[in-house]
Structure 1
C-alpha cells in the first residue's frame, strides 16, 4: 500500500514506486506528471487496495489519471497469472470528445507497456470496424453508454471477465440521455457478479446517487472540490448589456487585446457561433468554431491545436450544457413561453434603426405576423442535425485558458460552474466574464440573432450569484465607461450590417464541407503523416461577406484614454491598460511540480484602469 505521505503537498509519484509498475512511473514522468494532484494522491492508494471509489473533484483536478493509473496496474498484475486474453475494464463517458481525451491519456500511460495492455476507443467508428478491433479482446474499452450497449447486445463485446467499471463524469451520464442505456448495461447480465467500480464526478446530483446505489459496494467517498483554490485563483465579472452591446464589447475586448492569452467564448446555438465568427472576421480577428455539426475528428483536432497554442480564440456552442442541465424552475418557465409572433425584420437593419425606447419592441423570432395560432407543424423550428453525444463545457481538457467569456449566459448555475471551470485550473489563475441581458432589453435587436434563453438571463444570473456565493466566490459587476467604448460603435454597426442571415447560412455550409474533407484527411493521411497536422488550420476566414480593409486597424484617436498611473511619467499619448494575466508558471499546474499558489499572492482586477 502507498505511504500516507502521498497526501503531503511535497510528495511525488516516485512515492508509489513500491506499488506501481516502473513502466507506469516512467510514462508519468515523460508526461511531466511530477506530483499527484489531491484526487490522485487520495484515490490511487485506495483503488490499488481494491476499494470502490466515488470521487467528487472539480474539472481539471486530474480525475482521469486517478482511475487510469490503478486500472493499468491492476491489469498488469492480473495478466501475470491469466491464462487467456479478455476485456478486463470498461470506461464509460458521456461524450465522444471525452472518449478521445481518455484514449489520449491511456496512450501516454501505456507507452512502455503497450504490448502487455491494449485499449480501444469504440465511441467512434463503423460497426464492421469495431467488430474487427474487438475480436482481438482489448484489455480496456472506452465507450459511451449507447455504443457499449449496442456492442454488448450484438455480442461483439464481452464483459464476462471484466474486473473494473469506470463511469466518468457520472453526473452527466444520465442527463445526456444515457439513463436507459445505463440501466440495461447494469441489469442486463453483461457484467460479472463482482467487479471494482469507479464513479468520477464534478458534482453530487440525484443521478450520481442513483448510480452509486447501482454500482458501488462500500465505496471510499472522496469529496475534493478544492473550492478554496478556485475562489483564490478565479476572478469573475459580469456586464449587463443589450444584445448589440455584446458584440460591441467583444470587439473592443478582443481587438484591443484586453484579454491576454487563450480565450474560450461560449454561445448557446450554432447560428450564433457563425455570426460571431463572421463579425470578428470583419476586424481580422481569427477564431474557430466548435459545435456538434462538425465531424468528431475535426472537433478533437481543434481542441488539440488550441491546447498547443495554435489558436487563441474558440467559439464553442454549448448546446447540451445549456438545455440538459437547466435549473428545474427556470426550465419549466421556458416551456411555458409561447412562440413569438413578430414581423420579420430586415436583416441589414442597424441597431440604431430599431424602434425607439417608448415604442413597443417587436417580440423575438419568427417568420411573419399571424392573427391566428400557427399550425403545429410551424410552431417549432426543425431540430438541426448534430452529434447527440457532443459536449464542450464538461470533460474536454482545454489547457491554459486565460479567460472564459460567456457571450451567451448558460441556462443554469451548474452549467455556469462547469463553463468557468475551464479556466483557473490546477492552481493557475484565470478570469470569467459574463454578458447578462436585462429583461427589458430582450427582443429589441433581433438583427444580431438573439437566443431564446436571453429572456431568462436575469433570473438565471441571480441563481448563479447565489450558487457562487455559497462556494465562497463573488461575481463582481463591471461597468465599462460607455463614452469611451461608444467610439467603436459605428465600426461595430458596419460589421453587423455585413453579417446577414444568408451570409451565416453560406458560412455554415462552407465550414461544414471544409471540415468533412479535413476529417477524412485526419482519419487517413494524417495517421501516417502526423507532422502534416500543423498545416491544417481551422481558423481560416470564411469571408462570405464583404470585408472592409479599413476595419482591420484601430486608429489612434479611437484608443481609450485612462488616468495616469501614479508615480509614472505622464505623456500625451493615448494608451490603454490590458487585462492583466497573472503568471501561469506558478502553482502546481498539471501535477508537474512547483510550489503551491496559495501563499498570499495579491489578486489583481484584470479589468482595472480600463473604463474606470
Structure 2
C-alpha cells in the first residue's frame, strides 16, 4: 500500500487517491466532503498505517469520518487481498447512546454506497428484537455498531481487527462501565487489533480506556483555531425561575432568534411544561427525551435537520448518569445534611421514575444536528463538561452560532411556587463560574446580557396567565398523551413507513397536546405591546413593518448597537450575521 504520510493535509480528499478506494472517494463527494478537517487529515493516514490513535477534537470537527473512512478502506483492502470466501466481522464500533449508533450507521451506509456488497454493516443497538439482532450477527457483518451492553450480549467472535470507542469521555458514565471492562477482560477481543478512542475532552474515564484499549498510541490533541472558536457567540442571563418563561416567550414569539434552536432542560417534566407553555402562544415545538421510542427520537432529529421543525425541547438527563464536576460532587457530599424538604421530594420523584425511559438515551453528545442557529440552556447543565457538549450542537463545520444560558441566582431559587424549582439549578451560580473559567481557558468569553426589563414587563401578564394554565396534572396528562402517540408512531415508523417512505412527511412530532386551557387571544401579540426600536445615530429611519418593529435592540440597555456580528460563513461562502448582533454591546 502507498505511504499514507505522503498525503497533503491541506489539500482536498482527491489527494487521498493514493490510499483511498475510488468508490470511497466518489461517496465522499456525494456526501459533500470536499476537504478533510484537521482531525481527518491527521488521523486517516495514521489509521491506515495500523497505528492506535487517541484523538481529542472539538464537537463538530469531523471525528466520525476520521475513523469511519479508514475502517471502510481497511476492509476493502483486506477483501481485495484475501482469497478466502469466509466472512468475518472486522470492526466493532462502541458508542454510548442509541441515537449515536443510528447516526454512525447512517454515515457508514453513505460511505459504502458504491461498495455495499463488499462492506456490510449492522447496528445492533436499534429497536429490533434480541433474536433478530442475533440473526443479523450470524451473517457476520464487516462492521458492527453497538452500545457496550448490546455488544456484550451478542459478542461471539474474536475476528475483530479494529475497535473504535466514540465519545470515549462519556461511555463509562452512561452506565456502561462494567460492560466495557467485561468486553476487554473476558476474551471477546483478539490478541492483536487496532484501536481508536475519539473524544471531545480528556477525562479520567478516557485515561482508563486508554490503558485498556491502546498500545503505544499516537495522541492527537487538536484545538480549533481562533476563527473557529469565534464562530460561537456565548451569552448568559441572570434571572429568576419565572423570568425564564417570560424571556423565552418574548424571544421566540418576537422571533428574536432566527433559524433552528435547541432548548435544553434538565428533566422530562420540564420538556412538557415548557412545550405546553409555548403552546399557549401558538409556538410549535417538539420534545426529545428518554421516554420516547428510539424510532420516534431518531425521526425527530432527521426532520429537524431537514427544517421541518424550528424548535426542539430536549431533556439532558446527564444528572442521572452522574455527570457532574468533581468540585460539585465534593460539595454535594458536604451539603447532604442540609437537604431541605424540597430536596426530599425531588429524591422521591427521582426514585418513583427510576428505571423509566431509555438508559442509552443522549442528545448532548455526538448526535449531528444540522444548521442549528442557537442553543438555549433553559436549565443550566450540572457541569462545565455538559455545557461544552450542549453548545457544541451549534457553530459546527465553520458555521456561526450562538448560545444563551439562563442562570438562576441562589437568592432567587425556589421562590415561585407556581413554576416550582429544579433541584439542579440551585447551584447555577457556582456552575456558571466554572463554565466561564473553562471557556476562558479555551479562549472564549461568555458575555453577560441584561434585558431592559421595563420593556419586557408588558408581556408579563400574558406569561403569568399562560403559566397558571400549565398545572402539574396538565403536564402529567401531556406526558402520557405524547408517549402513547409516539409509541403508535414508532410502530408505524418501523413497519408501514419502511414500505412507504414518502408518508413520513405526514407524520409530525410538534402537534399541540392541549391538555391545558388554551386562550385564542394569546396567539397574537397586539401592536401596542411591540417595543419601538431606538434610532441609531446617523442612520435613516426604517420603513414601517412588523419585522423592523421587532429586534434585540429594545431589550438592551444602552451600549453600541453596531457590534456583535458573527464571523462564521454559511453555505455558499456568504457571511452570516450573528442572530444576536443587536443583543450584545
Task: Establish whether TM, by shorter chain, passes 0.5.
Answer: yes
* Residue aligning to 1:6: 8
Q: 2:152 aligns with which of 149, 152, 159?
A: 149
In structure 2, what is the equivalent of residue 103 of structure 1? 105
Shift in alpha-carbon separation, 1:460–1:162, aligned structure 2, 3 A: same
Question: What SS does the aligned partner of 1:221 have?
Answer: strand
Q: Does 1:385 align with 2:359?
A: no
1:284–1:218: structure 2 CA closer, same or farther, 3 Å change rule?
A: same
1:513 is matched with which residue: 484, 490, 507?
484
Q: Which residue of 2 aligns with 1:501?
A: 472
Aligned partner of 1:398 among 344, 348, 369: 369
Q: 2:136 aligns with which of 124, 133, 138?
A: 133
Matches within 5 A, 1:414-563: 414-563=385-534
The verdict on how the C-alpha distance between 1:195 and 1:310 changes in structure 2, with shifts beyond 3 A counting, is: same
Counting only pairs closer than 5 Å after superposition, residues 82-481 of structure 1 correspond to structure 2 as 82-83=83-84, 84-124=86-126, 125-152=128-155, 157-158=156-157, 160-226=158-224, 228-320=226-318, 324-335=322-333, 336-337=335-336, 366=345, 381-383=352-354, 385-481=356-452
Instruction: Call closer, same or farther: CA 1:290–1:138 in 2, change over 3 Å.
Output: same
Is the 1:95–1:390 contact (alpha carbons within 8 Å) kept by the matching residues of 2? Answer: yes
Tell me whether 320-329 or 420-429 shows the greater mean CA deviation.
320-329
Cα drift, residue 562 of structure 1 = 2.4
TM-score by length of 2: 0.92
1:79 paired with 2:79, answer yes
**Per-residue Cα deviation, 1:234-255 (whole angstroms, up to 9, x for no partner):** 1111100000000000000000
- 2:318 is paired with a residue of what secondary structure? helix
* Alignment partners' CA distance in 2, 1:54 and 1:381: 40
Question: Could you report, residue by residue, the CA deviation over 1:111-133 in whole angstroms, capped at 9, with x for unpaired residues?
Answer: 11111110100012211111111
Q: Secondary structure at the match of 1:183?
A: helix
Q: C-alpha separation between the residues in 2 aligned to 1:192 and 1:85?
A: 16
Deviations 1:147-198 (A, max 9, x none): 101112xxxx31x221100001111111112111111101111111111111
**Which residue of the partner structure matches residue 370 of structure 1?**
none
1:409 Cα deviation after fit = 0.2
Conserved 8 A contact 2:407-2:429: yes
Counterpart Cα distance in 2 of 1:62 and 1:97: 17
Structure 2 contact 289–314 (Cα < 8 Å) conserved: yes
Whether the 8 Å contact between 1:278 and 1:543 is mirrored in structure 2 is yes
Pick closer, same or farther for the CA change 1:378–1:90 going to 2, 3 Å. closer
CA–CA separation in structure 2 for the residues paired with 1:609 and 1:585: 17
- 2-structure distance, mates of 1:168, 1:148: 14
Whether the 8 Å contact between 1:484 and 1:560 is mirrored in structure 2 is yes
CA distance in 2, matches of 1:136, 1:519: 27
**SS across alignment from 1:222:** strand
Question: Is the Cα contact below 8 Å between 1:47 and 1:53 reproduced in 2?
Answer: yes
- What displacement does 1:420 show? 0.6
Q: How has the CA–CA distance of structure 1 residues 138 and 384 changed in structure 2, closer, same or farther, with 3 Å as cutoff?
A: closer
Cα deviation, 1:431-466, whole Å, max 9, x if unaligned, reads: 000000000011101311321011100111111111
Question: Could you tell which deviates more after superposition, 571-580 or 425-434?
Answer: 571-580
1:608 and 2:582 equivalent?
Answer: yes
Q: SS of the counterpart of 1:32?
A: coil
1:497/1:91 CA distance change after superposition, 3 Å: same
- Any idea what SS the aligned residue of 1:170 has? coil
Q: Which moved further from structure 2: 244-253 or 575-584?
A: 575-584
Shift in Å, 1:228: 2.5
8 Å CA contact 1:260, 1:578 repeated in 2: no
The unaligned stretches of length 5 or more in structure 1 are 343-362, 368-375
- SS state of the match for residue 320, structure 1? coil
User: Residue 82 and residue 291 in structure 1: after superposition, are their counterparts in 2 closer, same or farther (change >3 A)?
Assistant: farther
Deviations 1:255-292 (A, max 9, x none): 00000000000000000110000000000000000000
Deviation string 1:338-375 (CA, Å, 9 cap, x unpaired) is 68666xxxxxxxxxxxxxxxxxxxx67749xxxxxxxx
**Cα distance change of structure 1 residues 555 and 566 upon mapping to structure 2, 3 Å threshold:** same
RMSD between aligned alpha carbons?
A: 2.4
Are 2:49 and 1:49 equivalent residues in the alignment?
Answer: yes
What is residue 559 of structure 2 aligned with on the other side? none
- Aligned to 2:485, the other structure's residue is in SS state helix
Give the match's secondary structure for 2:219: strand
What is the SS of the residue equivalent to 1:492?
helix
Residue 217 of structure 1 deviates from its aligned partner by: 1.4
In the TM superposition, residue 558 of structure 1 has moved relative to its aligned partner by: 0.6
CA deviation vs aligned residue, 1:53-90 (integer Å, no higher than 9, x gap) = 11111111111111111101111111221511001110
| TM-score (structure 1 length as normaliser) | 0.88
Q: Do the aligned partners of residues 602 and 34 (structure 1) sit closer, same or farther apart at CA in structure 2, a change above 3 Å counting? A: closer
Cα distance in 2 between the residues matched to 1:531 and 1:504: 33
* Alignment partners' CA distance in 1, 2:512 and 2:16: 49
User: In structure 2, what is the Cα distance between the partners aligned to 1:219 and 1:472?
Assistant: 28
1:586 is the counterpart of 2:569: yes
**What corresponds to 1:357 in structure 2?**
none
Kindly indicate whether residue 70 of structure 2 is the aligned counterpart of residue 67 of structure 1: no
Ranges in structure 2 where 5+ consecutive residues have no aligned partner:
554-562
SS in 1 for 2:418: helix
Rounded to whole Å, the distance in 2 between the matches of 1:320 and 1:377 is: 18
Secondary structure of the residue aligned to 2:109 is helix
1:428 shift after superposition: 0.8
- In 1, the alpha carbon distance for the partners of 2:42 and 2:327 equals 37
**Number of equivalent positions:** 567
CA contact (8 A) 1:146 1:178 kept: yes
| Cα gap change, 1:19 to 1:545, in 2 (>3 Å) | same
2: CA distance between counterparts of 1:55 and 1:40? 10
